[in-house]
Amino acid sequence: MKIRIHVSLKPGVLDPQGRAVHHALEGLGFAGVADVRIGRLIELDVADDTSDAALTDMCEKLLANTVIENYRIEKAAA
Amino acid sequence: MKSAVVTFPGSNCDRDMWTAMRDVSGREPVKVWHGDAELPDGLDFIALPGGFSYGDYLRSGAMAANSPIMRSIVAAAKRGVPVLGVCNGFQILTEAGLLPGALMRNAGQTFICRTVALKVENSQTMFTSGYAAGEEIRIPVAHHDGNYFADEETLDRLEGEGRVAFRYAESCNGSRRDIAGIVNAAGNVLGMMPHPERAIEDAHGGHDGRRLFESALAELV
């Protein structure tokens, strides 16, 4: 089973990397970009019987730092 | 007094830390490897040094926080054994849940490597008793991810409980409230981004870090 974990900074947490990329986009002449936030995509290939609880546990214990990050678990279509 | 310095793959300040602790205590610290399952018996002090453990994979300190030795270190810290985490060591302590908050990329995006002025906020901890409250000291910083973040409620609690040990005298890396070092609620765990082990003798640019080791290790002799 293919799983995608989307990790993103929580709203309100400053993202200096996103801000720098935002400036760079403006420098390239792209108008109308209101904000840029950079996150992380983690792809897992897990056993088909892996429970939702186990996936959540993986995110909470290691894949995301819930002090500063949110995560979203996406199961790829079979 | 029996102390230990933990080395993770990618630690690079472990020898400086070891030397500082040996010079101040007069006894050689035990060297502990990240893959060891158990700490040596009877440790009175544990130091987690700076560096780039596991290449900063995933997040700084995240992999080291889950390495075999950390389970024993968390247990020791909860028993009251003093633990000092410097730079990457601080990042590991937050990732392991021994200290609140997180250390994010510096607000200016650049690696900062220079000596900075720190204000000693609390001189009542076991690590800072050799300093005067409000004293300004000079300690080197060398980090890319030193931008301390915690939510407002946590920050207020840290301030209210006197758990901010050191603050940058001038804004350094974007840290919330210019926090450079904090202790846990019990006061036996200190995490700080600046490197006191790099400031223990004048030949290396200053000795303001020496009193931290004298404070912490003297209480244990």
Q: What is the pLDDT along chain A (78 residues), one digit of tens a residue?
A: 999 999 999 998 989 889 999 999 999 999 999 999 999 999 999 999 999 999 999 999 999 999 999 999 999 875
Q: State the Cα–Cα distance between residues B131 and B63, nearest whole angstrom.
A: 34
Domain residue ranges in chain B: 3-218
Indicate the average pLDDT of chain B: 96
Domain residue ranges in chain A: 2-75
A16/B109 touch (CB, cutoff 8 Å), yes or no: yes
pLDDT at residue A22, rounded to an integer: 95
User: Is the pLDDT reported for residue B219 higher than 70?
Assistant: no
| A76 three-state secondary structure | coil
Q: Is B195 an annotated catalytic residue?
A: yes
| B17 three-state secondary structure | helix
Task: Provide the CATH number for the domain formed by A2-75 in this structure.
Answer: 3.30.1280.10
B105/A17 touch (CB, cutoff 8 Å), yes or no: yes
Q: State the Cα–Cα distance between residues B84 and B47, nearest whole angstrom.
A: 5
Rounded mean pLDDT of B155-176?
97
pLDDT at residue B218, rounded to an integer: 80
The closest CB to that of B102, out of A17, A20, A67, belongs to: A67
Q: pLDDT confidence of B158, banded at 50, 70, 90? A: very high
User: Is the pLDDT reported for residue B221 higher than 70?
Assistant: no
Does the interface ipTM go beyond 0.90? no
Going by CATH, does the domain composed of B3-218 fall within 3.40.50.880? yes
Q: State the Cα–Cα distance between residues B163 and B101, nearest whole angstrom.
A: 13
